[in-house]
Structure 1
Amino acid sequence: MSMVLFKREWKSNYKIFLIFIAIMTLYESIIVAMYDPKLGESLNMMAESMPQLFAAFGMTDPGLTLLDFLTNYLYGFILIIIPLVYIMIMCHRLMARYIDKGSMAYLLATPHKRSDIFITQLCVLLSGVIGLIVYSVVLILGCSSMMFHESIDIAKFLMTNVGLLGVHFFFASFCYLTACSFNEVKLSIGIGAGVGVISILIQMLSQVSDKIEFLKYFTPLTLFDAKGLQVYDQQSLLCMAGLFALAVICIVIGCMNFSKRDLPL
């Protein structure tokens, strides 16, 4: 790993990170502020009037506690899509654009192996993802403590976010794998981003009707069961471990591809 390259990439991309921090601050603070146990009945009435729309976004049950509310309204869609968009952008900036423009030669001209460059760019990507999730945790806990007397079960909340991290580690490693495997951006980013977006759409469709619920088995998002993780369900824990394992597999394959393939220099 090259610390010089790591610092340079962060210096070049920190503004993008801050933009996503601002977006998450806006959405999460608004959602937390919306919580009111007395609104549960009203939200249920809205869900009954538009069942398919609420079901698509995983918002059919507001729950009885603050943690239930946040799980339904943040971890079903918002905290999936926002980091995913960040991952798409960063995979392009850290790897795909270098290969597409032929400027990877400048990085390879340094006294570092291809594997070192691969790991360095990957660390920039994953550190950003971790930063977004950690910030999200701190922000939600901070907003909750300031706005409400009700406290969140910290252990359950943290376990939910470990599962969320597993989801985004998988998406990040898969997008990074495709970014390292193709020369043209439309393929290197298009495939990785396409899998992420299609996964979200499939999950939304599977929640709309029992007749197409089977579609959930065609998306890796099924492996993230926030409510199951909160009660330490064994199957949910195994699925979470599976996401991290898939991420490692993608990283290994990506490193092998990047180290051996011919690059347009």
Structure 2
Amino acid sequence: MSIPLLKREIKSNYKILLLFMGIVTLYSGIITAMYDPEVGTGINAMAESMPEFFAAFGMENPGVTLLDFLNNYLYGFILVIIPFIYIIIMCYKLVSKYMEKGSMAYLLNTHYSRSEIIVTQLVVLLSGVILLVLYAVALIIICSEIMFEGKLEIEKFLVLNFGLASLEIFLASMCFLFACLFNEMKFSVGLGAGIGLGFFLIQMLSQVNEDIEFLKYFTPLTLFDAEKIMEYDWVGFAYVGILWLLAGIFFMIGIMGFKKRDLPL
């Protein structure tokens, strides 16, 4: 790993991470505060009047506890899509941009190997994703304890976020893989972003109508089964294990592909 490159990338990209932390703060703070019973009644009434819309975003089961509420309104869509958008941007800035502009050759002209350079970029990517999830965890716990002291089941909440982090690392591995294998931005960024957004669309469609529920088997997002994870069901953890296995494979293929490919000058 290249420490100078690591420092440079952190300095160049920390503002993007802060921006996404701000977005997480906005959504997480507002939705956590909405656990007020009177407001919750209003939301449930809206959900009953527009069941397809709420189901599309995984918000059809509000539950009775604070944890159920957060899982339904944050972890069904919002806290999954926000880190994914961050991943797309960072894969472009850390890998694809260097390819597109031909400046990767400049980095390779240093005494660091291809492996050291691409691993450094990977560390920056994963560090940002993990920090974003950890920030969301800390923020929600603090907000919950301030507004609803003792209402949040923190142990289950932490396990839930381990599942979320596993899903985001898988999505990062997929986008990273395409960024490493292709030179043109329409492939290096477009494939990862397009396939990922396609997964979200498939999941939304599968939740709207029982007749097309089978579509959930065509998206890896289904492997993040929040209900089973919070119930400590072995199936939920087996799904998480599959996400980690796939992520490891994608990362290895991406690194090996980067090491062997011809790079634009």
- CA shift, 1:155, in A, is 1.4
Fraction of identical pairs, as percent: 60
Q: Which amino acid aligns with 1:159?
A: V
- CA shift, 1:40, in A, is 4.4
Q: Which residue of 1 aligns with 2:237?
A: 237
Aligned counterparts, 1:151-166, within 5 A? 151-166=151-166
Q: Distance in 2 between matches of 1:97 and 1:58?
A: 34
Q: Distance in 1 between matches of 2:33 and 2:39?
A: 12
Q: Which residue of 1 aligns with 2:101?
A: 101
Q: Distance in 2 between matches of 1:14 and 1:195?
A: 26
Q: Which amino acid aligns with 1:131?
A: L
Pairwise CA RMSD: 1.0
Q: Which amino acid aligns with 1:124?
A: V
Q: Which amino acid aligns with 2:183?
A: N
Q: Distance in 2 between matches of 1:81 and 1:40?
A: 23
Q: Which residue of 2 aligns with 1:119?
A: 119
Q: Distance in 2 between matches of 1:256 and 1:228?
A: 35
Q: Distance in 2 between matches of 1:258 and 1:38?
A: 55
- CA shift, 1:47, in A, is 1.5
- CA shift, 1:62, in A, is 1.1
- CA shift, 1:39, in A, is 4.4
Q: Which residue of 1 aligns with 2:57?
A: 57
What runs of 5+ residues in structure 1 fail to find an aligned partner?
none
Q: Which amino acid aligns with 1:181?
A: L
Deviation track 1:146-186 (CA, whole Å, cap 9, x = no partner) reads 11134311211011001001111011011011001011001
- CA shift, 1:102, in A, is 0.6
What runs of 5+ residues in structure 2 fail to find an aligned partner?
none
Q: Distance in 2 between matches of 1:92 and 1:184?
A: 11
SS of equivalent to 2:189: helix
1:37 matched to 2:27? The reply is: no
SS of equivalent to 2:235: helix
- The number of equivalent residue pairs is 265
The answer to whether the Cα contact below 8 Å between 1:37 and 1:64 also exists between their aligned partners in 2 is no
Q: Which residue of 1 aligns with 2:140?
A: 140
Q: Which residue of 1 aligns with 2:256?
A: 256
Q: Distance in 2 between matches of 1:40 and 1:135?
A: 25
TM-score, with structure 1 as normaliser: 0.98
Q: Which residue of 1 aligns with 2:19?
A: 19
Q: Distance in 1 between matches of 2:150 and 2:34?
A: 14
Q: Distance in 2 between matches of 1:59 and 1:150?
A: 24
Q: Which residue of 1 aligns with 2:71?
A: 71
- CA shift, 1:189, in A, is 0.2
SS of equivalent to 1:207: helix
